[in-house]
Amino acid sequence: MNSTLLRTTALRSALRASAPKAATRAGLAGTTFVRGKATLPDLPYDYGALEPAISGQIMELHHSKHHNTYVTSLNNFSEQLAEAKHKEDIQAQIALQPLINFHGGGHVNHTLFWENLAPTKNGGGEPPTGKLAQAINDGYGSLDAFKEKFNAALAGVQGSGWAWLVQDTQTGNVLIKTYANQDPVVGQFRPILGIDAWEHAYYLQYQNRKAEYFKAIWDVINWKAAEKRLK
């Protein structure tokens, strides 16, 4: 497997790594209007480390191609947005919103997703503990019952999308929600754990048998990362 990805073994906040870095803002024509660029975060494990649940080939394409395309496109449209703001072109700003939502969502979702996964030797698949375990038991009766509900939600995604365990920021309750395409978990809900239900996430290994992918992925779920997101 690609050894360049072994650089980072410790789990770290990839989102933080991709946050704006420099506060420089250029005002001259022809120069960039974007303060900092989103970057593709390193995976905290090797491409092949999630086998047999997710193949190394899937992980490599998913991270280095799909996620990278969202990052590149987000930077491109962010730059256009900054330019449209600079020119006070409101129509152009509005036209760019769905593109920022889609590509920005793709970047955010995948970054959270990589953190949600871990090789079994690093604790992948080990059940949640503490507050999150309690919340799941309270809401769903047991972890197995929760997984069943979550898998039903994943199976019910019509087209491309994601299923998330989210926390309602108003009530503190956890619940399962599905999101279309790359719509990100923002606003009233806080992302705790997400699973990618796009076909590119499983097709090379599972083809049309997506229920098998939904079943297998729990073996490499990083519940520790999920616990840290719960407030």
Give the interface with Fe ion as residue ranges (CB under 5 A).
196, 198, 201
- Residues of this chain, 140-179, that bind another protein according to CB under 8 A: 158-161
**SS3 state at 191:** strand
Calpha distance 184→104 (Å, rounded): 8
Considering only 137-145, 185-193, 203-211, 215-223, which stretch makes contact with another protein by CB under 8 A? 203-211
Residue 209 phi, psi (nearest 5):
-90, 60
Pairing of strands 161-168, 174-180: antiparallel
Calpha distance 174→131 (Å, rounded): 11
* 109 counts as binding another protein under rule CB under 8 A: no
Q: Which of residues 3, 170, 171, 208 is near another protein by CB under 8 A? A: 208
* Contact indicator for 140, 149 with CB cutoff of 8 Å: yes
- Tell me whether residue 89 is annotated as binding: no
* 229 counts as binding another protein under rule CB under 8 A: no
- Tell me whether residue 67 is annotated as binding: no
Tokens of 162: 């994601």
Contacting positions for another protein (CB under 8 A):
61, 65-66, 69, 98, 102, 158-161, 180-182, 198-200, 203-204, 207-208
Residue numbering of the annotated binding site for Mn(2+): 62, 110, 196, 200
